[in-house]
A and B are shown apart, each in its own frame.
Chain A
Amino acid sequence: MAILVIAEHDNASLKAATLNAVAAATKIAAHLSADIHLLVVGQNCAAAAQAAAKAEGVAKVLVADAAHYADQTAENVAALVVSLTNAAGYSHILTAATANGKNMLPRVAALLDVAQISEIVAVESADTFVRPIYAGNALSTVKSADAVKVISVRSTGFDAVGQGGSAAVENIAAGPDLGLTSFVGRELTKSERPELAAAKIIVSGGRGMGSGENYHKLLEPLADKLGAALGASRAAVDAGFVPNDYQVGQTGKIVAPQLYFAIGISGAIQHLAGMKDSKVIVAINKDADAPIFQVADYGLVADLFQAVPELVAELG
């Protein structure tokens, strides 16, 4: 028996969240003495496969390289994972709970006729896992009765494995092209800043920013100074200040950086769900009673329009 982890990548590089998913697989493997296989599905993805081979704890990297995997559509990737699982008898299938992982993995579970266990944050045993429910207001321990455990991994729950490994890389045959979807285009936000999900410091703005213009004018200099990623509350996204991929919270990204700045954010349950595991939280808000101050390590009751430029100046 072995454990299959599906890599998150963009053909050229491996996404950091994969290393957290491998870490979760390592914890499961310790209960079973099972090998871990890391699957890279893409087109011209040799560079991603090379990076995958360095993930510590991985015994073998499987590479399916074909034109119909260029955009990693859920339908085609899931079909491949299911046929691999039926052939190789994997006991567990894991992937990071990224937009890609969340999109693809439930198809795998349904086709195998098993439950999926979403966004685990801890491994209790080979069949028992802990996952947050109700926006992280409760932690549920669930035991799976299925033959194959299909699991998505919340990155903040597991420290990434190192990259000093040297797994064998094996090419495998591609699965069928189901031809159900065709790719029209992709518009990625261009940014020199670190990725939100992997950043060590995050500067987030909320409704208190007042406008998209204010958001950029005030927060970009601060993020630049700190080498931070930019985030936002759902309220700021709903108000149209920034695109949805900035959103931190229950329905956006779940982050746990070393330092999180919540600026002009009141601290709704939905937002706290996405950032309350940050190591240090700083809140700047003019409302002294804002709920964000109940989770902040350092709170500053101040007008953000004065405090943020002052902060940039003070950081030198």
Chain B
Amino acid sequence: MKILVAVKRVVDYNVKVRVKSDGTGVDLANVKMSMNPFDEIAIEEAVRLKEAGIATEVIAVSCGLAACQETLRTAMALGADRAVLVETDVELQPLAVAKLIKAVAEKETPQLVIFGKQAIDDDANQTGQMFAALMGWPQATFASKLVVSEGRANVTREVDGGGETLALKLPAVVTTDLRLNEPRYATLPNIMKAKKKPLETLKPVDLGVDVTPRLTTLKVVEPAKRSAGVKVADVKTLVEKLKNEAKVI
């Protein structure tokens, strides 16, 4: 079976972003970009399923600027067999991405599509679920364990207060949480090999998808800063201040 994995190019998780002074967004000039960390987990899980002989092919897909090619090359260095880029300069929102990936999935007919649970830039946590709904497929979000066998996926999910396990009929959608696996590092030989793997580029119009944004960003501001308080000398002073100054215990 084929597995399709959606990956997103985002500001690296170690970067502390700055809001632009004109309030139009965050400053992305000269900022390090990387693959969304949850998407690395998604690629890793798909590659492990291939290594276990369950999947036959892993296809990475990304939507956005031409620069997303780098992210797709990374995905292939981690073990994806080939990649599809849906290239556009339009600001893509989750619903548009879900529609684009639906169009790709209809061409590729995967049995499993894996997404990261959320992207660390817009923190939306929507695309996998939206894609599943558009396809009419079952979903298991926030996965911490995935077992695929005989046309089914058994998925353990992270939920409030613990975990739950669902059995899904394939084809299905899984979104990854942190504990699903620990992604490997791309080795230099694999990075070199990835440069030769096929990368197909499509446009939204080729796929017949309208990607016009539905939400308009009116302004982006920095949140109110929390100022540092005081250092206390010892535990006794701490308890005294919590009782008499902050009055919280």
By a CB distance below 8 angstroms, the chain A residues around B160 are: 98-100, 195, 197, 245, 253
In the complex, are the beta carbons of A135 and B129 less than 8 A apart?
no
Residues of B68-123 at the interface with A, using a CB-CB cut-off of 8 Å, are 93-95, 98, 117-118, 120-123
Binary CB contact string for chain A from 109 to 129 against chain B (1 if under 8 A, 0 otherwise): 111011111110000000010
In the complex, are the beta carbons of B161 and A110 less than 8 A apart?
no
User: At the interface, is chain A mostly helix, strand, loop or mixed?
Assistant: mixed
By a CB distance below 8 angstroms, the chain A residues around B239 are: 311, 314-315
Task: Choose from A237, A276, A301 the contact partner of B226 (Cβ within 8 Å).
Answer: A276
Most-contacted residue by chain B among A78, A107, A136 (CB, 10 A)? A107
By a CB distance below 8 angstroms, the chain A residues around B217 are: 140-142
In the bound assembly, the distance between CA atoms of A183 and B138 in angstroms comes to 12
Residues of B150-187 at the interface with A, using a CB-CB cut-off of 8 Å, are 154, 158-169, 177-179
In the bound assembly, the distance between CA atoms of A111 and B129 in angstroms comes to 11
Q: What distance in Å separates the Cβ of B109 from its nearest Cβ neighbour in chain A?
A: 18
Binary CB contact string for chain A from 74 to 108 against chain B (1 if under 8 A, 0 otherwise): 11001000000000000000000011101111111
In the complex, are the beta carbons of A184 and B166 less than 8 A apart?
yes
In the bound assembly, the distance between CA atoms of A62 and B121 in angstroms comes to 36
By a CB distance below 8 angstroms, the chain A residues around B133 are: 78, 106-108, 110-111
Stretch at the interface among B43-51, B54-62, B192-200, B229-237: B229-237
Closest A residue to B161 by beta carbon equals A188
Q: What distance in Å separates the Cβ of B116 from its nearest Cβ neighbour in chain A?
A: 10
By a CB distance below 8 angstroms, the chain B residues around A107 are: 129-130, 132-133, 139
By a CB distance below 8 angstroms, the chain A residues around B232 are: 298-300
B3 at the interface (CB under 8 A from A): no
Given the contacts A116-B94, A182-B166, A245 and B158 also touching, CB distance less than 8 Å: yes
B29 at the interface (CB under 8 A from A): no
In the bound assembly, the distance between CA atoms of A237 and B17 in angstroms comes to 25
By a CB distance below 8 angstroms, the chain B residues around A181 are: 138-140, 166-169
- The number of residues on chain B lying at the interface, defined by a beta carbon within 8 Å of a beta carbon of chain A, is 77
B238 at the interface (CB under 8 A from A): yes
Size range of the chain A interface in the assembly: 35 or more
In the complex, are the beta carbons of B13 and A270 less than 8 A apart?
yes
Given the contacts A140-B217, A180-B168, A189-B161, A297 and B235 also touching, CB distance less than 8 Å: no
Given the contacts A180-B168, A234-B178, A250 and B223 also touching, CB distance less than 8 Å: no
By a CB distance below 8 angstroms, the chain A residues around B202 are: none
Given the contacts A182-B167, A244-B177, A314 and B123 also touching, CB distance less than 8 Å: no
A146 at the interface (CB under 8 A from B): yes
Residues of B192-219 at the interface with A, using a CB-CB cut-off of 8 Å, are 214-219
User: At the interface, is chain B mostly helix, strand, loop or mixed?
Assistant: mixed
In the bound assembly, the distance between CA atoms of A87 and B126 in angstroms comes to 25
In the bound assembly, the distance between CA atoms of A99 and B158 in angstroms comes to 8
In the complex, are the beta carbons of A138 and B221 less than 8 A apart?
yes
In the bound assembly, the distance between CA atoms of A110 and B177 in angstroms comes to 22
By a CB distance below 8 angstroms, the chain A residues around B230 are: 297-299
B11 at the interface (CB under 8 A from A): yes
By a CB distance below 8 angstroms, the chain A residues around B122 are: 133
Binary CB contact string for chain A from 20 to 40 against chain B (1 if under 8 A, 0 otherwise): 000000000000000000000
Q: What distance in Å separates the Cβ of B103 from its nearest Cβ neighbour in chain A?
A: 14
In the complex, are the beta carbons of A185 and B164 less than 8 A apart?
yes
By a CB distance below 8 angstroms, the chain B residues around A197 are: 160
In the complex, are the beta carbons of B129 and A143 less than 8 A apart?
no
In the complex, are the beta carbons of B126 and A116 less than 8 A apart?
yes
In the complex, are the beta carbons of B235 and A311 less than 8 A apart?
yes
In the complex, are the beta carbons of B162 and A188 less than 8 A apart?
yes
Taking A107-B139, A243-B163, A245-B161 as given, write out 9 further A-B residue pairs in contact, using a Cβ cutoff of 8 Å, ordered by the A residue number. Answer: A106-B128, A116-B126, A134-B26, A140-B217, A143-B216, A247-B178, A288-B231, A293-B228, A302-B234
Binding site for A on B (CB under 8 A): 11, 13, 16-17, 19, 26, 38, 93-95, 98, 117-118, 120-134, 137-142, 144, 154, 158-169, 177-179, 214-223, 226, 228-232, 234-236, 238-239, 241-242, 246, 248-249
A-B contact pairs, 26 of them (CB 8 A): A74-B139, A100-B159, A103-B129, A106-B125, A110-B130, A116-B130, A118-B123, A119-B123, A133-B26, A134-B17, A137-B223, A139-B223, A142-B218, A180-B169, A186-B162, A188-B161, A188-B162, A195-B160, A245-B158, A279-B248, A280-B248, A293-B228, A298-B241, A300-B235, A301-B231, A315-B249
